[in-house]
Amino acid sequence: MSETTFPLAKVAISLDDRSYDIHIGQDLLSRSDTWDHLPKAQTAMIVTNETIAPLYEDALRRAICPHYKQVHTVVLPDGEAHKNWQTLNLIFDALLSKGCDRKTVLFALGGGVVGDMTGFAAASYMRGVPFVQVPTTLLSQVDSSVGGKTAINHPLGKNMIGAFYQPVRVVCDLSTLRTLPGRELSAGLAEVIKYGPIADMAFLDWIESNTDALMAQDPAVLAHAVQRSCEIKAWVVGQDEREAGLRAILNFGHTFGHAIEAGLGFGVWLHGEAVGCGMVMAAELSHRLGLVDAALVARLKALIVRAGLPVRGPVIDAADNAGHYIDHMRLDKKSVGGDIQFVVLDGPGKATVRGAPDAMVRDVINTCCA
Ligand code: NAD
Ligand code: GLY
């Protein structure tokens, strides 16, 4: 599944003519040869945000300049609250005002918010232009930059408007994580932890043994976490690109998590925080459905605490908190005819998608929320 040649690891995403590699290593962004063999074009557009631009835009621009006649940059406002039509339109405004043609290559320089929006812009600008993911958060390196899900939020629901559209390359420069705030590192660990209970219990063991090193940003340990996460995601996406079935397991914790994000207002809890807490709720539901024992729920919860993440959900509506969560969850993309479908654990290292009795779901929410 992977080929490791020091100092670079490459993980392949195999999707016929949409196949590409994830490059993982230190100091990749500023090397000109990192950007060799991308689709030929006269123009590149770097899409980034106001936090990341001062840190990395210049280095990326210098490195890609030899490959293009013109390199433009559009700087977006920062934050989940800006993952919407208005901000997406800033990308189209920049592309059109600079006369960018249909071969223009977009570079998504940032976390999952920039990546998801740039991907959606690339999918729709002139009916599709190539784009490269340059993820700079742990969460985006282990999850959002890989697999071609692109989207913006709607006030009524998370990631409700988007497209499946694969990047032509993903470049995970681990050295960019040095500037990441601790809260964002923890949020990324939620998505790393996710891969254990759904697919690889040996990886869960490894994360437990290395949580302190991950929190301390040990470079070798982070490199392994990114590589193994990408390998598992590549394995899933390679079998089910458009989420006809298997890929849904990657949404473990997300049904509850998206309700937290949308219910509180986007950006109040970080996506990874909501997913971490959502995984505790989904594990608890799995236990009540008789699919896993209480020890696995307790183990997962303890790890999420050690990763610096909340494990008790917020009260969004004091009058009927469970009802409020359920209303949000009915809008989830997995819902069928208003029936909520949950990703639940189906034994250690396995996950499946199924419904659950309303009363049980209410009870889980009431038990797991502060
Ligand atoms: P984010 O993009 O908001 O980035 C987090 C914060 O860190 C931002 O303030 C950002 O400016 C800042 N930042 C980014 N890189 C930095 C760096 N190197 N140094 C300092 N600051 C840096 O959040 P995220 O956690 O990366 O991504 C969350 C988003 O990803 C959500 O919108 C979620 O829905 C989406 N997502 C998508 C997928 C997918 O498959 N497409 C999967 C998981 C999550
Ligand atoms: N993050 C879930 C997916 O890519 O399917």
Question: Is 98 tagged catalytic?
Answer: no
With contact defined as beta carbons under 8 Å apart, do 256 and 336 qualify?
Answer: no
Does ligand 1 come within 6 angstroms of the Cβ of 139? yes
Q: What is the pLDDT of residue 182?
A: 97
- How far is it, in rounded angstroms, from Cα 39 to Cα 129? 10
**CA 98 to centroid of ligand 2, rounded, Å:** 33
**What type of residue is 281?**
M
What are the residues whose beta carbons fall under 8 Å from the beta carbon of 194, sequence distance 6 or more? 250, 252, 253, 275, 279
- How far is it, in rounded angstroms, from Cα 35 to Cα 32? 6
Q: What is the mean pLDDT of each run of 10 residues along the chain (370 residues)?
A: 55 98 96 96 98 98 98 97 97 98 98 98 98 98 98 92 98 98 98 98 98 96 98 98 97 96 94 98 98 98 98 96 95 89 97 97 96
Catalytic residue (one of 243, 261, 273, 284): 243
For residue 253, which of 205, 189, 324 has the smallest C-alpha distance? Answer: 189
Does ligand 2 come within 6 angstroms of the Cβ of 251? yes
Question: Nearest 5 degrees, angle CA 17-CA 167-CA 350?
Answer: 85
Does ligand 1 come within 6 angstroms of the Cβ of 50? no
- How far is it, in rounded angstroms, from Cα 364 to Cα 370? 12
Q: What is the pLDDT of residue 149?
A: 98
Q: What is the pLDDT of residue 36?
A: 96
Catalytic residue (one of 72, 271, 299, 301): 271
Does ligand 2 come within 6 angstroms of the Cβ of 247? yes
- How far is it, in rounded angstroms, from Cα 270 to Cα 187? 7
**What type of residue is 308?**
G
What are the residues whose beta carbons fall under 8 Å from the beta carbon of 151, sequence distance 6 or more? 83, 116, 120, 159, 160, 161, 162, 163
Q: What is the pLDDT of residue 83?
A: 97
For residue 110, which of 41, 51, 39 has the smallest C-alpha distance? Answer: 51
Does ligand 2 come within 6 angstroms of the Cβ of 230? no
Residue nearest to atom 2 of ligand 2 (CA): 250
Total-model pTM: 0.96
Residue nearest to atom 2 of ligand 1 (CA): 111
- How far is it, in rounded angstroms, from Cα 326 to Cα 329? 5
